A and B are shown apart, each in its own frame.
Chain A
Amino acid sequence: GAVVSQHPSWVICKSGTSVKIECRSLDFQATTMFWYRQFPKQSLMLMATSNEGSKATYEQGVEKDKFLINHASLTLSTLTVTSAHPEDSSFYICSASPRVSLEKLFFGSGTQLSVL
């Protein structure tokens, strides 16, 4: 079946540094990719939707300059948490779909970010 690879699985960084998380669709072209954030024992919160070659659409309340999303190709999207602070510590999950209709939707395994 289709696979979405997300790296790294976990990362620990110092406050003030930037962290990049990659999301790759391994055997399909991802028309649309999504980035979610999940706090412990809570639901997934959509941060942004990205389409290849165009700017990401951010959800209300998500800082565009803080969470930079790049969807440079049909198989790769990256989320960069800039100048990370402890409150950015969270579980980040990407998902990808070959179709806008989301008839098929695949998830990465998630990235646990801990900012010290």
Chain B
Amino acid sequence: AQKVTQAQTEISVVEKEDVTLDCVYETRDTTYYLFWYKQPPSGELVFLIRRNSFDEQNEISGRYSWNFQKSTSSFNFTITASQVVDSAVYFCALSIWDGAGNNRKLIWGLGTSLAVNP
């Protein structure tokens, strides 16, 4: 099976708390990309990060950090010192080849709704 699992449906934290959003994936592709997107109430998807399957280095961008563990097929996302503006739905996605091997497409997790309360 090729899928993305975001087990946390909803998370609620108080401002300034750290929060980790989990993402576990399954794929038979040897080369793939993993993505995180943020979707605020406006609906527009905001790109956060893309990770190549060959690059297991963790990444930090300001208050955001990502932990890619190929051994456990996980690509978790941590927000440090959360802020109210971080409230949104966060999606993890995996790019795979389609059945014919002609195109890549994204497999999406169900999303985690994060509420950061003041």
Contact = CB atoms under 8 A, between A and B. Distances in A.
Given A34-B105, A43-B91, A101-B104, A109 B44 contact: yes
Contacts of A46: 105-106, 108
B106 A57 contact: no
B64 interface: no
Size category of the A interface is: 20 to 34
B44 A44 contact: no
A66 B88 CA distance: 32
Give the interface residue-count category, chain B: 20 to 34
Contacts of B37: 107
A49 B100 CA distance: 12
A44 B105 contact: no
B103 A103 contact: no
Contacts of B50: 103, 105
Contacts of B44: 107, 109-110
B82 interface: no
